[in-house]
Structure formats: C-alpha cells, structure tokens
Amino acid sequence: MIEPPTLALIEKWLSDMGLEHYTCEHCSALHIAVEQDAQGALENRLFIEEWGVLLSTEFQVRPTVMLSLLGELGQINANYPTLKLFLDIVDDAVPQLVVGATVLTGAGISAEQFALFMSTSLDAIAALAADLQQLDCLYLADGLSSNGDRQLH
C-alpha cells in the first residue's frame, strides 16, 4: 500500500531527481532552486500538507502591465491547465503573479508519480516564464524589462 509522503521522503525524492532544495528557516516550505533562478521568479516553494503537495512560484510583475495581464489571465490559465495563476497585489509592494500546481497525496503517491508531477509542473512554469518574458510582463531587480530595455515604472 502506498502511504502519504513525509517531508523526509519528499526530500529524498527531490535529491534522487537531482533538484536542489533547502528547508527555509522562515516558512515551512522546501525551496526549489531550479526556477528560482529564472528571470523575474522570486520564490519556488514546495509545501507538504495533509491533503497533498503544493508547488508555488512567484513572479514580480511590472505595475504598468498589471491591468493588461489581468485581462489575459483567463487565457493564460487556459494555456496552462495544470497550473493555477492569480495576481497578488499588496499596497507597498511590486505586484506578483503567483503560480501553483497541486497533487493530492492523501491516498498516497509513488516516487514515479511525484517525479511526473514535479517535471510536468516545472516544465509548465518554465514555459510560462518564457511567455511572460516575451510579453514583457516581468519586473526585474536591475530595472530592466524582460526584453532588456530600461523600465520606466
């Protein structure tokens, strides 16, 4: 019988997959290094819950494209059916596009199923990041837009 995964088992599976990860001292998530290095990606975290596993990636969005991105969000969600996307807007912070992927593990999950979940989710997030860069939606820390031009806002 397959059991729901423990944190230690998830860490082992991530290591077996060659995915760099570390436990954060500020939250209960495992941080995955693969997409965190992508332009515009702030964090890529894996949360292990009773009901399942949540992979969450956050991208900083240029404030000047927020309304157009909001208008395109339904189409972007349709283009990436295994991901759930929403805008997170806080008063004193740069807006973020939060991307999530979940797999239910309450009845258990095998190493192969977990590897498939991670690889398909990370591939979809990488494709989304490329699309966001092409659409020039991402806010980069160095003040450049994702196409290399100087950002005005």
Domain of 50, CATH number, reads: 3.30.1460.10
Whether 139 is in a domain gets the answer no
Is 141 within the bounds of a domain? no
Distance CA 118, CA 56 (A): 11
Report pLDDT for 153: 31
pTM of the model: 0.85
Mean confidence (pLDDT) of the chain: 86
Segment 59-118, tens digit of pLDDT:
999 989 989 999 999 999 999 999 999 999 888 888 999 999 999 998 999 999 999 999
Q: Is residue 91 part of a domain?
A: yes
Residue 37 has pLDDT above 60, yes or no: no
Q: How many domains does the chain have?
A: 1
Q: Is residue 25 part of a domain?
A: yes
Lowest mean pLDDT among 69-73, 91-95, 143-147, 148-152: 148-152
CA distance 138 to 6: 35
| 28 belongs to a structural domain | yes
Q: Is residue 82 a part of any domain in this protein?
A: yes
Task: Examine residue 30 and state whether it is found in any structural domain, yes or no.
Answer: yes
Domain that holds residue 74: 7-134
Whether 42 maps to a domain, the answer reads yes
